[in-house]
């Protein structure tokens, strides 16, 4: 199955939307720090800059998009609540954003979701509705809640408010480190990457964009090769934030603006996650470590030595009782 998508990226989200999002989230989100590490630089032969979205509120960049979406809702809409289906970082981010905006988040989670992720949603005041661990069940439950409550659906990535919100990470990053030659981010549904594309293509002439994907969930890589949106079927990877297919609104950015997609094995991802923790003392999740693994991969495009490479560390929510090594 392939899907034809005729959108141009500039039809979807523009830099002005990202700048508005930056204003919307400023009172609530961290301007996350950029971390550097000389010993990693020596190892890789480039100057690495890590934008620490793992230190963002709720432990992931997802908070940016969720807050931006809620900031654009009317009081009447907010009064009816918000709903999403997610087993991961978007769920926690939406729950926390809803708490801030004084509304109720209904989160449809598969029964297979980890106890830790359920607990995070509940800790932020979210209402968890358990469904079967498949997409049909998730959509059915989410639809039912929308019908019953009038809650607004806030999708995890295929949404212009979400894409604009996620683009604020790259906006800050280029303010903090203007001379980046390359920016690398993971691709799951493509929300972070799309926002990154909007920002980088509009504000930096020199900075190219590379996407990182697990070999076992390489729909973006395969789609880009044939320039057609191929959905991900049967993903297999420890990078649990990158299992989903891209959406119609995110694919055009990956198709037209991303220069290269580097796929990495789970072994490479685990090694990168462990190396980063050992050298920097900072924890990233596997879905983020794919980006560092991509930079260390022989598959990465040829670069002059000592380039300035920015890596968006998308999140740090890890079950410490089940570390992957």
281 binds its own copies (CB under 8 A): yes
Stretch near its own copies under the rule CB under 8 A, chosen from 54-62, 65-73, 187-195, 213-221: 54-62
- Selected from 20, 47, 54, 232, the binder of its own copies by CB under 8 A is 54
DSSP SS3 for 166: helix
Q: Which stretch, 81-89, 175-183, 198-206, 278-286, contacts its own copies (CB under 8 A)? A: 278-286
Distance CA 237, CA 134 (A): 17
Q: Min. distance of Cβ 59 from its own copies in angstroms?
A: 7
Per-residue binding string, its own copies, 11-50, x by CB under 8 A, is: ----------------------x-----------------
Q: Which of 217, 283, 300, 309 binds its own copies (CB under 8 A)?
A: 283
Residue 201 backbone dihedrals phi, psi, to 5 degrees? -65, -25
Over its C-alpha atoms, the chain yields an Rg (Å, rounded) of: 18
SS3 track for 36-74: CCHHHHHHHCCEEEEEEHHHCHHHECHHHHHHHHHHCCC
- The label of the residue with tokens 């203007």 reads 178
Cα three-residue angle 254-85-154, rounded to 5 degrees:
65
Contact string (CB under 8 A) for its own copies, positions 284-313, x = contact = x-----------------------------
What value, to the nearest 5°, has the Cα angle with vertex 255 and ends 253 and 259? 90
Q: 59, 156, 252, 286: which one contacts its own copies (CB under 8 A)?
A: 59
Reduce the DSSP state of residue 85 to 3 states and report it: strand
Inter-residue contact 65 to 135 (CB < 8 Å): no
Number of residues that bind its own copies (CB under 8 A): 18
- Region of 4-12, 193-201, 224-232, 315-323 interacting with its own copies (CB under 8 A): 315-323
Which CB, 4 or 281, lies closer to its own copies?
A: 281
Residues 257-276 that bind its own copies (CB under 8 A): 274
DSSP reduced 3-state for 222: helix
The residues binding its own copies (CB under 8 A) are: 33, 52, 54-55, 59, 274, 277-278, 280-284, 316, 320-321, 323, 325
């Amino acid at each position: 199955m392939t899907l034809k998508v005729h959108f141009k990226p500039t039809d979807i989200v523009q830099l002005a939307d990202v700048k508005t999002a930056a204003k919307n989230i400023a009172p609530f989100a961290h301007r996350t720090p950029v971390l550097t590490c000389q010993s990693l630089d020596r190892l890789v032969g480039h100057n690495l800059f890590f934008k620490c979205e793992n230190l963002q509120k709720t432990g992931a960049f997802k908070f940016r998009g969720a807050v931006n979406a809620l900031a654009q809702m009317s009081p009447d809409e907010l009064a009816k609540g918000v709903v999403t289906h997610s087993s991961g970082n978007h769920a926690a981010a939406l729950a926390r954003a809803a708490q801030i905006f004084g509304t109720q988040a209904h989160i449809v989670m598969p029964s297979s979701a980890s106890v830790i992720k359920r607990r995070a949603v509940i800790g932020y005041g979210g209402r968890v509705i358990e469904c079967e661990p498949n997409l049909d069940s998730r959509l059915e439950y989410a639809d039912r809640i929308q019908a019953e409550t009038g809650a607004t659906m806030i999708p995890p990535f295929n949404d212009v408010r979400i894409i604009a919100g996620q683009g604020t990470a790259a906006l800050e990053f280029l303010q903090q480190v203007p001379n980046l030659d390359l920016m690398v981010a993971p691709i799951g549904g493509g929300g972070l990457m799309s926002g990154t594309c909007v920002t980088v293509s509009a504000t930096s002439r020199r900075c190219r964009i590379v996407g990182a994907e697990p070999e076992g969930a390489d729909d973006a890589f395969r789609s880009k090769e044939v320039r057609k949106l191929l959905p991900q079927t049967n993903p297999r990877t420890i990078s649990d934030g990158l299992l989903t297919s891209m959406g119609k609104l995110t694919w055009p950015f990956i198709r037209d603006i991303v220069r290269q997609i580097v796929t990495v094995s789970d072994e490479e991802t685990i090694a990168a996650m462990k190396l980063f923790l050992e050298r920097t003392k900072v924890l990233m999740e596997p879905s983020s470590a794919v980006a560092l693994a991509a930079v260390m991969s022989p598959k990465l495009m040829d670069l002059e030595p000592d380039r300035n490479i920015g890596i968006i560390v998308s999140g740090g929510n890890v079950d410490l009782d089940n570390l992957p090594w």
